[in-house]
């Protein structure tokens, strides 16, 4: 079946530290891959996406590369800020007659000043 | 453009009751998807509607149903509420033509079942 596995949190980092959140997926067909972010009390917002193998998505200093050979889409940021504290969700979307998005469990990130 | 709106934002019900949640998509978007978010199960796909037709559904019991109107607004209904239905219900809209599209999420309706 289709699934997304991402590293469990919480992840606690100091400001300006390097961030990696691992994400791997299993899918039939050719999914699009997404990272969404959820700030406290809010809905999900798109952070970045990649729609085919070797695509790199980037936004606000975050980036992730669609790796078909390792079925991965790891999220990275070179220098985190306190304002990056949130829950990050890796997701895949498939279109087989209709939309279906499968989310990972989410990784909570705390950034300390 | 206005974002996705959901009403009500908060709801308290008792076991056995039924509830209807509403979602208004971004203007021009024809696809609306619904998700249930709980601490234990995370984000789970409920169903997707496009042009008033359910195109896809997740693994939820028949107590969970939905519909979409000609203006793309969507409602979901949960009948015979159970304690385990307490969750944040999110809807998301997109144009509806492919998996590469970004889904835009509303703020959610938080349902508490007592």
Quote the CA–CA distance of B45 and B41 in Å, as a whole number.
11
CB contacts, 8 Å: A89 with chain B: 43
Distances from the Cα of B31 to the Cαs of A28, B45, B86, B104, in angstroms? Answer: 22, 14, 25, 10
Summarize pLDDT for B9-24 with one digit per residue, the tens: 999 999 999 999 999 9
CB contact under 8 A, A32 and B100: yes
| B87-94 vs B109-113, strand pairing mode | antiparallel
Q: Decide if pLDDT at A5 tops 80.
A: yes
Summarize pLDDT for A27-84 with one digit per residue, the tens: 988 899 999 999 987 889 999 999 999 999 999 999 999 999 999 999 999 999 999 9
CA distance B15 to chain A (A): 25
CA distance A13 to chain B (A): 23
CB contacts, 8 Å: A48 with chain B: none
Tell which of B9, B36, B94, B99 to mutate to test the A interface (max A CBs under 10 Å): B99
């Amino acid at each position: 079946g289709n699934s997304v596995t991402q590293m469990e949190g919480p992840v606690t980092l100091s400001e300006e530290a390097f961030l990696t959140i691992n994400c791997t997926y299993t899918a039939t067909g050719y999914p699009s891959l997404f990272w969404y972010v959820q700030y406290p009390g809010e809905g999900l917002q798109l952070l970045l996406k990649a729609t085919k193998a070797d695509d790199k998505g980037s936004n606000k200093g975050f980036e992730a590369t669609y790796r078909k050979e390792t079925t991965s889409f790891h999220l990275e940021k070179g220098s985190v800020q306190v304002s990056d504290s949130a829950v990050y969700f890796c997701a895949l979307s498939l279109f087989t007659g209709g939309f279906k998005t499968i989310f990972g469990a989410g990784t909570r990130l705390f950034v300390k000043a | 453009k206005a974002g996705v709106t959901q009403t009500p934002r908060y709801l308290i019900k008792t076991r056995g009751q039924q509830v209807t949640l509403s979602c208004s998509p971004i203007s021009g978007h024809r696809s609306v998807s619904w998700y249930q978010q709980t601490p234990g199960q995370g984000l789970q796909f409920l169903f997707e509607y496009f042009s008033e037709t359910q195109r896809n559904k997740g693994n939820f019991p028949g107590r969970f149903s939905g519909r979409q109107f000609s203006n793309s607004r969507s409602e979901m209904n949960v009948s015979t509420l159970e304690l385990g239905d307490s969750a944040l219900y999110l809807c998301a809209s997109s144009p509806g033509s492919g998996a590469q599209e970004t889904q835009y999420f509303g703020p959610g309706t938080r349902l508490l079942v007592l």
